[in-house]
Amino acid sequence: MDNSEKIQTNNPLHGLKLETIITDLVEYVGWEKMGEKISIKCFTTNPTVKSSLVFLRKTPWARKKVEVMYLYNLKRIEKGKAEKIVD
Q: What is the DSSP letter of 59?
A: -
CATH code, domain with 39? 1.10.720.30
pLDDT, tens digit only, all 87 positions of the chain: 566 556 667 788 888 999 999 999 999 999 999 999 999 999 999 999 999 999 999 999 999 999 999 999 988 888 777 666 665
Instruction: Tell me, yes or no, whether 13 lies in a domain.
Output: no
Residue 81: give the domain boundaries.
21-86
Instruction: Tell me, yes or no, whether 8 lies in a domain.
Output: no
What sign does the dihedral 46-52-54-56 (CA atoms) show?
Answer: positive
Please name which of 42, 43, 33 lies closest in space to residue 73, comparing C-alpha atoms.
33
Structural domains of the chain, count: 1
Please name which of 35, 28, 17, 30 lies closest in space to residue 73, comparing C-alpha atoms.
28
Please name which of 12, 15, 14, 18 lies closest in space to residue 75, comparing C-alpha atoms.
12
Residue 87 has a pLDDT of 57
The span from the CA of 47 to the CA of 41, in Å, is 8
Residue 12 has a pLDDT of 84
pTM summary value: 0.80
